[in-house]
Amino acid sequence: MTGMIISYGQLNFIIIKYHEQMYYHSTYGSTPNKNSLLYILPIIIISIIVGGRLGYVILYQPIFYINNISEVIFIWKGGMSFYGGVITTIITTYYFCKKKKVSFLITADILSVVYPTGILLGRIANFINSEHIGYGTNIYWSIIFPYGNFGSRHPSQIYESILEGLIVLVIINTIFFKTKLAFKNPGMIFGISCVISSIGRFTSELFRYTEINTTLLLDLLSLGQATSILILSVGVMTIAKRLK
């Protein structure tokens, strides 16, 4: 898993640099200046870790961590919230762009091209570690995980890696490379990414075993689905605003 994370970081470095160079060259006929997006990479990594952990602590196990406050920093024991990391990353990216006088929408578009690789690899790591298992099933592609007495389960991590990672990666990169949308209407790719990824997450949650304290609205929605609706709303509003 550690090697996967390191590889993801290296891959992000290359991809962000390439997309940034391509964007500036196509738009301005020049290369990016000292306010390069590469300067924000360490901030993003910290935001993902801190936001992901705090999101899990607040949304999933608040009572436990109130009684065991010192364990909040024990990230090696597991417990990270995807959307917690997303929210803090959006916030820190916005303030970075404001301070450096860089377009937030352009930055969000470029980062939207990159992040699906993290979801793809992260969910595969969850699968390897028997984390975020699916509901019990007898379908022929069901999995009996080696860690824990779970029985035959949906490989929900693989569903998520495909729906939230691979599909989003292919669609967003196709739009970025094959159209001029990113250059003509900054922010559209970010909005489209929010819509596609939230639909993928909402769908995959139908097969993912819902942990304790993560159901909402009379058990009709999981916490992940409720958050997906919020992200979907952000995407729809962003697209609508950019189309005006």
Find all residues with CB under 8 Å of 173, minimum gap 6, and list them.
Answer: 113
Please give the Cα distance from 230 to 238 (Å, whole number): 12
According to the model, what pLDDT value does residue 18 have?
A: 55
Q: Which amino acid is at 38?
A: L
- 207 and 156 in contact (C-beta within 8 Å)? yes
Instruction: Report mean pLDDT in 10-residue bins for the chain, 244 residues.
Output: 47 56 51 56 80 82 83 76 81 84 82 83 83 87 81 92 93 86 86 94 88 57 84 94 86
**How many angstroms from the chain centroid is the CA of residue 168?**
10
Question: How many other CB atoms sit within 10 Å of the CB of residue 223?
Answer: 19
Q: What are phi and psi of 34, to 5 degrees?
A: -65, -15
Residues pairing with 48 in the sheet = none
Residue listed under structure tokens 């992040």? 115
According to the model, what pLDDT value does residue 172 have?
A: 92
Select from 113, 131, 133 the least CA-distant residue to 122. 131
According to the model, what pLDDT value does residue 217 have?
A: 53
Please give the Cα distance from 203 to 163 (Å, whole number): 8
According to the model, what pLDDT value does residue 15 have?
A: 60
